[in-house]
Amino acid sequence: MTITTHRAGPADLDGLVPLFDAYRQFYRQPPDLERAREWLRSRLRMGESVAFVAMRGNAMVGFAQLYPMYSSVRTARTWILNDLYVDIAARRNGAGHALLEAAAQFAREDGAMGISLESTADNAAARALYQAAGWKADATQWYSLAFD
């Protein structure tokens, strides 16, 4: 069955929540559907993120979520592809690639200079997907400061 994508709107929230919760669990967060719902609802309502969903028939099988960022040096907007998840049962059917294409098309139409993402070193499947879709790894060193 063909994979289609569209920009997520309020009507997609119920289907998006369990996928977002599964994504968070992949990164060792405890299940919390209500927290997932509130996070997504707030980000989308406030325009703080843009999400795309992948559909196989009437079933939502994946999503990508982007957050805006700005480059002072290049005086341009860029987007961070912060979240990408495809349901385990729907993987290897083109949903991840379709979501990357939807994100790239959106960013181009938005006039952004590009999209960036960060992936864990041990996520070989994701890294293979990004490379197959034309994304390039670079030698940038990321640093983080966590406030727990």
- 46 assigned to some structural domain: yes
Q: Report the relative pairing of strands 76-86 and 115-116 from DSSP bridges.
A: parallel
Flag whether 143 is in a domain: no
Q: Is residue 142 part of a domain?
A: no
Q: Is the residue at 21 inside a domain?
A: yes
pLDDT digits over 75-133, tens only? Answer: 989 999 999 999 998 888 999 999 999 999 999 999 998 888 887 778 888 888 888 88
The DSSP secondary structure of 22-59, one letter per residue, reads HHHHHTTPPP-HHHHHHHHHHHHHTTS-EEEEEEETTE
What's the total number of domains in the chain?
1
The token duo for 126 is: 């994701």
Residue 60 lies in domain: 3-132
Domain containing residue 23: CATH number:
3.40.630.30
* 137 in any annotated domain: no
